[in-house]
Amino acid sequence: MHMLTTRALWLMTGAAVAATPLASCKGGHATDKTQVVAHVNDAEITVSQLRAALAAKGDPRPGEQATQAALEGLVNEQLLVDAALRDRLDRDPAVVQAIESARRQLLARAYLERAVLPKQEITASEQAAYYKGHAELFAQRRVYQLIAFTLARDKLDAALLETLGATHSPEAVAAALAARKIEAEKQSLMRASEQLPLDDLPRFSAAAVGDVIVQTLPERATLMLVTAIQPSPLTFESAQPIIQQYLSNMRNAQALDVYLKQARAAAKITMADLSALSATAAAEPADPAAPVRESRADTGAGVLN
């Protein structure tokens, strides 16, 4: 089979690229999977693979240069795959585990997108209702200049809270803490309404310059002194894309929660007692060569993120 020219590649792929890598697997012409655009040793690269590579880059209308660059990337990738197979890395336990993990995630994501998440669009009336019901985020949106004092949670008592009620400047807050020999980390912050925890929005909306808003966590407390307030409203038109994304995310999360509750109720699930395993892992010294896995928790500090 002859190789296609760069111009032909662009004409075949540039006009109709799928929106996501998963979407590119669902549709397309039957010839996409067999039309070869490159040979690398004994392997073939097809139009379908090229479409998926272009879709992964997020360019809905790739030009000739982008299409050629994507093909070159697939060729380079295949060369590395060939080398890995020659070295039998496909049998390496760590690689096998990683492949299985990627397979599980891909299957879970594909089912989630195709069978669990709602397909209907968020309506304009739903968006308008959310806009009107959350004026503090939009029509009455503010940007706050803050001085934050972070201290140990157990240092925050009723006497200190009473003193803070009559405290309206950074110097006065610092003096109140110093009088009780409380160490605190001081930081200047700027926060818009949507960057604040939803539960705290009513207190910030009612606050005036000089007020201290206390935020608490199990281990620490933060004294947020308001030093300036700047009104910064958003019109419905400018807020509409944000609202649509937020409502869509919220609806998707609810649909997933409902599905998983039903699936768990119908499934037979047994779990091992991990307490002994956790104790053993804690007692074992850390392997300095082991990769570090970072866990990122959603703090929920922003309702429109």
One-character DSSP codes across 242-262:
HHHHHHHHHHHHHHHHHHHHH
Cα 252 to Cα 60, 105, 112, 261, 297: the distances in Å are: 24, 17, 10, 14, 19
Question: How does pLDDT run across 119-161, given as a tens digit for each residue?
Answer: 999 999 999 999 999 999 999 999 999 999 999 999 999 999 9
Cα 132 to Cα 125, 154, 199, 234: the distances in Å are: 11, 40, 18, 12
pLDDT of residue 303: 35
Cβ–Cβ under 8 Å, residues 194 and 238: no
pLDDT confidence of 274, banded at 50, 70, 90?
confident
Distance CA 65, CA 89 (A): 33
Whole-number average pLDDT of the chain: 85
Q: Is the pLDDT of residue 75 over 90?
A: yes
Q: How far apart are the first and last CA of the chain?
A: 50
Please state the pTM of the whole predicted model: 0.65
Instruction: For residue 16, report the phi and psi dihedrals to the nearest 5 degrees.
Output: -150, 80
Q: Which SS3 state, helix, strand or coil, does residue 189 take? A: strand
pLDDT of residue 10: 53
Average pLDDT of the segment spanning 170-197: 95
Q: Is the pLDDT of residue 8 over 90?
A: no
pLDDT of residue 33: 58
pLDDT of residue 285: 59
pLDDT confidence of 298, banded at 50, 70, 90?
very low
Average pLDDT of the segment spanning 162-177: 94
Q: Scanning the structure block, which residue is given the tokens 């206390």?
A: 214
Q: Is the pLDDT of residue 235 over 50?
A: yes
Phi-psi region of 146 (alpha: psi -120 to 50; beta: other; left: phi over 0): beta
Q: Is the pLDDT of residue 29 over 70?
A: no
Average pLDDT of the segment spanning 27-48: 80
Q: Is 9 exposed, middle or buried (0-12, 13-18, 19+ CB in 10 A)?
A: buried
Question: How does pLDDT run across 95-121, given as a tens digit for each residue?
Answer: 999 999 999 999 999 999 999 999 999
Cβ–Cβ under 8 Å, residues 45 and 92: no
Q: Is the pLDDT of residue 25 over 70?
A: no
Average pLDDT of the segment spanning 222-239: 96
Q: Is the pLDDT of residue 5 over 70?
A: no
pLDDT of residue 276: 74
